[in-house]
Structure 1
Amino acid sequence: MSLKIVVCIKQVPVSNNLKINPITKNLIRSGEPGVMNPYDKNAIEAALRLKDEWGGEVVLLSMGPSDFEMTLRQGLAMGCDDAILLSSRKFGGADTLATGYVLAQAIKELGKVDLVLLGRQSIDADTSQVGPIVSEFLGWPQITFVSELSGHAKKGMTATRLLENMQQKIEFQLPAVVTVRSEMNEPRYPTPRNIQQSYQKNILIWDENNLSVDPNRIGLKGSPTVVRSVWAPEKEAKETTYLKGTPDEAVRELLIQMRASNLL
């Protein structure tokens, strides 16, 4: 059962000093240092293990400015075969609905895809919405919060969903969209050879002209989510009390203060 797998990945910022567009209230991602969303590494590892077992190819797909190429190269260095960056001014300011729409249209453009994998959520927005939205636009079944995934005959798979108070085992037919949890696996480290080879691979850059998209469903136009305001939480100075005396005396004083504050 040879599989064509698409892994949707996202670059997330690493700095706390982020800038917000004063008009759109969206995060300004261009030029900001970023790393691959950690959950997406688990999705890549899951795809590579399926490829090792069943054969096929793994294609990376991401949407963002040109500097997202570095994150795609990291995925290529892990062992993925190809990478596509969806990059256009017209895509800027997209919420989860517009993002899911563009990703789905790109997946359709790739032709016969068997499986789409995503991390369960991104650590910057934490919505867990993009995977289900992609599945809706593709018209494929979705299986979310997956901690185990295995294939069986006739283009079918078995997944274990790890939920808050239970586990759920599901059998499903391909094509499908799956979001994975970090408990699924331990992502591999890129080897020096794969890192070198990743820079020899060409990353395709697609914009709205490469896709069959409705211009009213992409970017800000296609984003019904409206951010009214954004602000940073106020920093409050905390009072510090220094405990004096011997270590035993300091411990006794600490216990007294913790009991007084109902911490013990």
Structure 2
Amino acid sequence: MGSKGGSKVLMMLGVVLAFLAFGIVFVMANSVTQAGAEPRKQVVLARVEIPERAKLSRDLLDVVEMPISLVPPKAFLKLEDVTDKVFAKERIPAWLPITQDQTAASKASTVPAEVQVPTGPAPKVAPPQLVEAAYTLESGQTVVSVEYPEAAKLITAGILKQGDRVNIFIKVPGAGGDQVAQVFPSTSFQNTPKPLEIKAIGNLSQAGDAPGAASPTMIFQVSPREAIVLKLLETMNPFFLIHPAVDKDNPTIRADVLTSEQVQLAIGLRPSPQ
């Protein structure tokens, strides 16, 4: 009797385990079916903010898997279709998918085509851009407007834009010929040396401006000391080097003081006798 009772217990235990195993398999299969109802797709996105006209190199890109319903139209799906093959038509924010509409096959294609002006009466053009002369100032900051002829050339060409960070240089006469030196970033005028961000470009007023003229007026939000230096630079014809957007506030563009005599000697020319 004991052996028969033990056999029945084992049989019942086997039946219970069989039902339990079936239940586990059913739940797993059902979970897989439900997961399959939300397909995902690999998408190429910007690892960091990509500046306009930049070549999309591998270090700027990453890939993630997204629900197919969230993948934008014409999004790139493979790194090999993007890496070192296309250029950004516009600034591409970090961690967003990259689409074909945001890119071009060549750098030249990212520049607006030159408009041919027909002969005859001058066409009507839009008035100069007006900027909003109101900012939320942080403690210890002020706003200053400046006009630099060299910067106006970059503005007219559409290269220098609001939000760009710039390093500022000046060229002045010296004993060994013209000298070029960096003013910003500077340990002399800044607590933390860094490029200056252009808050806005445009006119605060249309009075006295020719219609359609590119405004050389730039607005900076800086410390009072930096503002004074920027105003003094108006008499020294400074020029800019635009700072790469991917470098943020890291002043990677550096230049020591150079003279025209040093440049002549470096390339094998002898300075003219004094």
> Which fold has the larger relative contact order, with Cα–Cα distance below 8 Å and residues 6 or more apart in sequence?
1
